Amino acid sequence: MYRREIDPAEYADAIHEMLRRGIFLTSKAGDKVNTMVIGWGHIGRIWEKDVFVAYVRRNRYTHELLDANPEFTVNVPVHGFDPKAFAICGTKSGRDMDKIKEAGLTLAEPQAVSVPAIKEYPLTLECRVIYREEQDASKLPEEIIRKFYSVEKEDHISYYGEIKAAYILEEEKAEILQV
């Protein structure tokens, strides 16, 4: 497996567009690896660092893993996505099952953090949390509370992950033609 390094800023628009459909946020603590589908996130620059901000509810298994190991990967499909994998990783809890195995996903060794990439979703951002902030949903407008917090009462935690490596996983290194 070859990693073609990328500038995350050059892929920011593509990542934001894919967030509308869902991308994966993968976490790891000890020997437990979990991934979940996220539809909220931001990629940008703050404190002179490239950063991905992920929002995770307190009751999620991913939150537990992130608190134990403040690193994560963002895994973005570039060639379509498997509805079965999205269904499993978007509706099941990693506390109850090995979602990676059930979804038929393949983990790839990370480059700069301890959390693996996902081969099938090859655009990868490896992130280390540099700031964490608990949201207070009571300060949000009522229409947002009704839409996003009426069923699940759990607020989100914002994880600001400094992007330590950014790449696209490829089967083999592409040959560069010399002219």
pTM above 0.85, yes or no: yes
134-177: pLDDT as tens digits: 988 888 898 888 888 777 677 889 999 999 999 999 986 655 44
pLDDT of res. 177:
46
Number of domains in the chain: 1
Q: Identify the CATH number of the domain in which residue 113 sits.
A: 2.30.110.10
Share of the chain above pLDDT 90, in %: 63
A 10 A CB-CB count for 40 gives: 13
Mean pLDDT of the chain: 90
Residue 127 lies in a domain: yes
Task: Name the burial class of residue 116, with classes exposed (0-12), middle (13-18) and buried (19+) by CB atoms within 10 angstroms of its CB.
Answer: buried
Residues contacting 152, CB < 8 A, separation 6+: 57, 59
Q: Which domain holds residue 59?
A: 2-168
Residue 116 lies in a domain: yes
53-92: pLDDT as tens digits: 999 988 898 999 999 999 999 999 888 778 888 888 887 8
Task: Name the burial class of residue 125, with classes exposed (0-12), middle (13-18) and buried (19+) by CB atoms within 10 angstroms of its CB.
Answer: buried
